[in-house]
Amino acid sequence: METIKFGTSGWRAILGEEFTFHNARTVCQGIAQYLRQEKLGGQGVLVGYDGRFLGENFAKAAAEVLAAHGIPSLLCDRETPTPTIAFHVLRHQLAGGINISASHNPPEYNGIKFTPAWGGPALPHTTQAIEQRIAPLQHGGGAIKWMPCERAERSGLIRMFDPRPEYLVGLEQHIDVEAIRQGQLRLVMDPLYGTSRGYLDDFLRKAGAKMAVLHHWRDPYFGGIRPEPTVETTQELQETVKREGAHLGLATDGDADRFGIIDRDGTFIDPNLILALLVDYLAVTRSWTGGIARSVATTHLIDAVASQYGLAIHETPVGFKFIGELLSKGECIMGGEESAGMSIAGHVPEKDGMLACLFVVEMIAKTGKSIKELLEDLFRRVGPRYTKREDVTVTENMRETLAKTMKHPPTLFAGKSVDSVNQLDGCKLLLGDGSWFLIRPSGTEPIVRCYAEASTPDQLQDLLSAGRELLHVHHENGEPHP
């Protein structure tokens, strides 16, 4: 059996293989022991789950383990978004939150996310401390303990909890509801069978928007697709928005911490562009001062927008936990990453796809423009940026090349001089004309992620082609990788 390790956002594994009740209880016991040692257990833990197979059963098992260690838990009464759990951890000053969720992973996966008392994704020192307690349990170093749910409920150690009402009220503090009401918008939402149903759609209906909702029911198979808002997974949403003449299409992933936006003509808009537009819109409407945090893989269009308003840029490694830490400490006012995550200071230091969608709805209602019209205006003011990511499977032949490239980056790339190299997370080549290329090996898969950004689509393709040549990426038939 493989040693259980926490990745960028918790532990994930395939159901029935590594993700079993025994292993889930083992992880939760590691969390319980960590909380007891930190003297946080008495504050209680919120336990939730998404719509995956047996999610509520795994959540119940987690609460039973906590109860056996004397830690009270609030057990969510239905599938719950990750940002909602973070919200209640802060609101009720809990010791933390456990969410049984594999987020945007395919349906055969499940996982466990742990939210510490500060409300953001667990930082490496926390996950390492939990892993140190899990390891001996995996190898017979102690029994896994749990208290049957009925007994724990009688003892007051498990209480059922509805997290929805307070969270929706919390969202109202950040959104101009009246602007949405006056906008008289027609919207189509696709939760991708995930946890935002009954949250995002109900909020918008209450705000006066006319809503159509796709896939508004629980399906552990997520319709046979990966529950992540992408160009491919939102095809039905794109077609519906165009056919119905809606102002916007909104999508969220399995646990509602990521967003997807469809413009009125049915075009899926890159999350990088949405983040830049939101910085531009919110900096003005909220009179922001301070800083904006983005990951090393996220568009520099945000930098160009931020500079217009005197906002500093904080660059972090990939993983919202690093952005969340800055939000929590008050060192930035908004944070975003290219994989469709964002949040703001004063909300939760965890990415919230529903909050992002609501900001976009408000922006469209208030400006009366389409996303593309807003982007045209933004590009006129700060210049265009085009960004793309390609994932490349690392073969044995490629490993040596990759290692050499990471250790000795080129001084010339795509015919341009490399001005500087950023090795905060991966190897990022910053070129003389403002374009850049990032190579970042995945920490969990035999994949290297290649990101590129340029001021024209043709230059972007040149960068990606140069990246393939650098890594010697070829198909089995000898042709270059597409």
We report the CATH number of the domain holding residue 398 as 3.30.310.50
Residues 30 and 146 reside in one and the same domain: yes
Tally of domains in the chain: 4
376 and 251 assigned to the same domain: yes
User: Are both 371 and 403 inside the same structural domain?
Assistant: no
pLDDT tens track for 6-52: 877 789 999 999 999 999 999 999 999 999 999 987 889 999 999 99
Name the residue range of residue 396's domain.
Answer: 386-471
| Domain contains 3 | no
Q: Global pTM? A: 0.94
Q: Domain boundary at 334, 364, 383, which?
A: 383
Which domain CATH number covers 339?
3.40.120.10
Residue 362 lies in a domain: yes
| Domain presence at residue 476 | no
In this structure, the answer to whether residues 290 and 439 fall within a common structural domain is no
The pLDDT, as a whole number, for residue 301 is 98
Q: What is the pLDDT of residue 7?
A: 79
Amino acid 142: pLDDT: 83
Q: Is residue 336 part of a domain?
A: yes
Query: Quick one: 51 and 111 in the same domain?
Result: yes
Within a domain: 477 = no
Residues 114 and 93 in one domain: yes
Model confidence over 410-437: pLDDT tens digits? 999 999 999 999 999 999 999 999 999 9
Residues 303 and 390 in one domain: no
327 within a domain of the structure (yes/no): yes
- Which residue is associated with the tokens 């003509």? 265
pLDDT of 443: 66
Both 94 and 117 in one domain: the answer is yes
Residue ranges, the chain, pLDDT below 50: 474-482
